[in-house]
């Protein structure tokens, strides 16, 4: 690898050719502020906050490649004044409601203003007013807070290949818009929320359901049940100052009980149930040789992506509901009867790392007997807000256990939170069921990791081979779908998660600023915690969960039974692309 030498603020540094000045500076402990820059996603040089002095010129460091002999100055009066001016100009046309903004204290513009010691604004003039777009059940767009950094656009267009938003108009009237200025709900937006994670300010946020849940908890006639997704437990602690990837499962359960929920269940239980239903579905399709490859349906963003962009492959999607929808159906139509509670008074709240689950929760296809399977979906961030509102000192909580019978899970259920987890969990069970053996070596490492598309083959004792593929991030999913459509690749089973890294970096997880993302691979740290939890579980295969076994004996009969299809399976619809 060719190396280049340069000096930054008099410090000599040697870096590989192609390294940008902002990256080189951070390697030696010099922080160059930025706003539009997002490592690996957005390198547009549009905000000019990251300017440095090279010779007589001010140049944006986020796209400036290091060269031999280059002398860079990051802290001169000229540089400081330029940065301050840029931020003041941004603030002059910004909706400055910092005390009530949900990104307060986690806003990169606010941080920059504080670091640059901006106390007064020299610029006052015309401001543009926009209506808030709250048409989506998943997210809210507030254009008056937008700083036109383009990070959301680059994420939606280049990472996710959805392209629901882009710049429109010119000059002072430039804005981030949808095609024909439609409401975001009327576009191809698949509600993944990665735009929220990319936004440095409060221009994009989740659609909050906190008040709805507080009202349900305060209603004495309601029996309010909560369930938590696997990825939440490895991220919630970050909202309370804990390191990225800290496991807080027990504290999370304790906090939920203190908030007043009548039952606290684990969505991992339904993840185990999903493996039983989806695994049986796979075996049936393999036997019949039809509608292959079977594609997972756990991720609502991925499902909507198929409905918009690949409607010809809708029949390849598993008919299984996602785990939290399965659990919601069981809570209302199985547990309520066991507990003697009127199912019409049962309120199911799902704590998810995902904003697409909010859209999923209100789909007509995910209901039974005129009752939605899930009533409200809260993100990890919303749960943290409720805990703070309640005055609970999260870090000092004791560890508590989930309630049963819908709170017992296996390691296979836990790993649903990371890309490749659904596939690995399925392979653990499918191999045992087809071979009649109890395989001890169950870590299918070939489907783990952050490679965009992963392939693996499972050879059974009878000589048959199951060909699998895993993709995370919809840009990778699109590549995989094109390979399948062209006939270039043939698979039996495909797992896709819409968010890069899987649910651990879903659109509802704690937002990590761009500076931290440049130093820490968040998806790797959280996934490591997921796999650590899997290793610590006494049971690591879905079909060995004793409560799953009992559920089939008492209620469902067998996987893919008529009762199972009635409650746990669904269908999908073709959606227009324009």
Per-residue pLDDT of the chain (578 residues; tens, 9 = 90+): 899 999 999 999 999 999 999 999 999 999 999 999 998 898 888 899 999 999 999 999 999 999 999 999 999 999 999 999 999 999 998 998 999 999 999 999 999 999 999 998 888 878 888 999 999 999 999 999 999 999 999 999 999 999 999 999 999 899 999 999 999 999 999 999 999 999 999 999 999 999 999 999 999 999 999 999 999 999 999 999 999 999 999 999 999 999 999 999 999 999 999 999 999 999 999 989 999 999 999 999 999 999 999 999 999 999 999 999 999 999 999 999 999 999 999 999 999 999 999 999 999 999 998 999 999 999 999 999 999 999 999 999 999 999 999 999 999 999 999 999 999 999 999 888 887 878 777 888 889 999 999 999 988 777 888 999 999 999 999 999 999 999 999 999 999 999 999 999 999 999 999 999 988 999 999 999 999 999 999 999 999 999 999 999 999 999 999 999 999 999 999 998 87
Catalytic-role residue among 321, 357, 523, 541 = 357
Active site includes 357? yes
Dist CA 138 CA 204 (whole Å): 11
The per-residue pLDDT for 123 is: 87
Dist CA 420 CA 501 (whole Å): 9
Catalytic-role residue among 108, 278, 327, 382 = 278
Active site includes 318? yes
Catalytic-role residue among 108, 281, 325, 327 = 281
Active site includes 39? no
Dist CA 419 CA 576 (whole Å): 28
Dist CA 382 CA 206 (whole Å): 9
Tokens of 64: 């400036």
**Residue 431 burial by Cβ neighbours in a 10 Å radius (0-12, 13-18, 19+):** buried
Dist CA 38 CA 221 (whole Å): 48
Bridge pairing between strands 71-72 and 3-8: parallel
Picking from 224, 226, 164, 222, the residue whose alpha carbon sits closest to that of residue 195 is: 164
Catalytic-role residue among 42, 61, 136, 318 = 318
Dist CA 567 CA 556 (whole Å): 9
C-alpha 494, offset from chain centre: 19
The per-residue pLDDT for 444 is: 87
Q: Determine phi and psi for 217, rounding to 5 degrees.
A: -65, -30
DSSP per residue, 262-276:
SEEEEHHHHHHHHHH
Active site includes 281? yes
Catalytic-role residue among 14, 81, 337, 365 = 365
Within 311-444, residue ranges assigned H as helices are: 323-330, 336-339, 356-361, 380-389, 411-414, 421-435
Active site includes 320? no
The per-residue pLDDT for 434 is: 80
Sign of the Cα pseudo-torsion (541, 546, 547, 552, in order): positive
Catalytic-role residue among 298, 299, 320, 499 = 298
The per-residue pLDDT for 437 is: 79
Cα distances (angstroms) measured from residue 560 to each of 124, 292, 554, 564: 65, 18, 15, 5
Q: Determine phi and psi for 91, rounding to 5 degrees.
A: -70, -30
The per-residue pLDDT for 417 is: 95
Catalytic-role residue among 145, 189, 503, 541 = 503
CA angle 103, 107, 110 (to 5 degrees): 120
The per-residue pLDDT for 45 is: 86
Torsion of CA 364, 368, 371, 374, to 10 degrees: -70
Tokens of 321: 């509901």
Active site includes 424? no
Active site includes 126? no
- Beta bridge pairs of residue 73: 53
Active site includes 53? no
């Amino acid at each position: 690898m060719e190396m280049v030498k340069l000096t930054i603020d008099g410090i000599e540094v040697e870096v590989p050719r192609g390294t940008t000045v902002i990256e080189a500076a951070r390697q030696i402990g010099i922080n160059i502020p930025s706003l539009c820059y997002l490592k690996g996603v957005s390198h547009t040089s549009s905000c000019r906050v990251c300017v440095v002095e090279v010779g007589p010129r001010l140049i944006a460091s986020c796209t400036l490649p290091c060269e031999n002999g280059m002398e860079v100055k990051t802290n001169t009066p000229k540089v400081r004044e330029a940065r301050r001016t840029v931020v003041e100009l941004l603030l002059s046309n910004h909706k400055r409601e910092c005390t009530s903004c949900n990104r307060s204290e986690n806003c990169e513009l606010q941080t920059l203003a504080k670091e640059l010691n901006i106390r007064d604004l020299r610029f006052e003039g015309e401001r543009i007013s926009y209506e808030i777009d709250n048409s989506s059940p998943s997210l809210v767009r507030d254009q008056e807070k937008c700083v036109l950094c383009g990070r959301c656009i680059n994420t939606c267009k280049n990472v996710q290949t959805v392209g629901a938003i882009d710049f429109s108009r010119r000059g002072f009237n430039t804005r981030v818009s949808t095609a024909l200025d439609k409401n975001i709900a009327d576009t191809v937006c698949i509600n993944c929320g990665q735009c929220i994670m990319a936004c440095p300010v409060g221009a994009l946020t989740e659609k909050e359901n906190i008040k709805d849940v507080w009202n349900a908890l305060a209603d004495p006639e309601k029996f309010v049940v909560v369930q938590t997704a696997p990825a939440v437990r490895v991220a919630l602690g970050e909202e309370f100052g804990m390191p990225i990837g800290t496991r807080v499962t027990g504290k999370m359960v304790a906090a939920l009980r203190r908030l007043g929920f009548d039952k606290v269940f684990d969505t991992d239980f339904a993840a185990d149930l999903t493996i039983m239903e989806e695994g049986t579905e796979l075996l049936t399709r393999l036997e019949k040789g039809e509608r292959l490859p079977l594609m997972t349906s756990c991720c609502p963003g991925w499902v909507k992506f198929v409905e918009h962009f690949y409607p010809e492959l809708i029949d390849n999607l598993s008919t299984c509901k996602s785990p939290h929808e399965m659990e919601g159906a069981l809570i209302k139509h199985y547990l309520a009867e066991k507990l003697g509670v009127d199912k019409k008074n049962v309120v199911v709240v799902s704590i998810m790392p995902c904003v697409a689950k909010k859209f999923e929760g209100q789909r007509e296809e995910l209901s039974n007997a005129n009752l939605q399977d899930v009533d409200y979906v809260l993100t990890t961030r919303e749960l943290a807000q409720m805990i703070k509102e309640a005055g609970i000192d999260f870090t000092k909580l004791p560890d508590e256990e989930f309630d049963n019978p819908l709170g017992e899970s296996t390691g296979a259920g836990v790993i649903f939170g990371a890309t490749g987890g659904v596939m690995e969990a399925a392979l653990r069970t499918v191999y045992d069921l087809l071979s009649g053996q109890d395989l001890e070596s169950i870590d299918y490492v070939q489907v783990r990791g952050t490679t965009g598309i992963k392939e693996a083959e499972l050879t059974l004792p009878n000589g048959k081979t199951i060909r699998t593929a895993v993709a995370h991030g919809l840009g990778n999913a699109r590549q995989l779908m094109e390979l399948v459509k062209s006939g270039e690749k043939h698979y039996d089973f495909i797992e896709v998660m819409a968010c890069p890294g899987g649910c651990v970096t879903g659109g509802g997880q704690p937002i990590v600023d761009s500076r931290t993302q440049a130093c820490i691979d968040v998806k790797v740290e959280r996934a490591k915690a997921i796999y650590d939890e899997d290793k610590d579980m006494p049971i690591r295969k879905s079909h060995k969960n004793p409560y799953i076994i009992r559920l089939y004996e008492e209620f469902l009969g067998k996987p893919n039974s008529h009762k199972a299809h009635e409650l746990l399976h669904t269908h999908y619809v073709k959606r227009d692309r324009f």
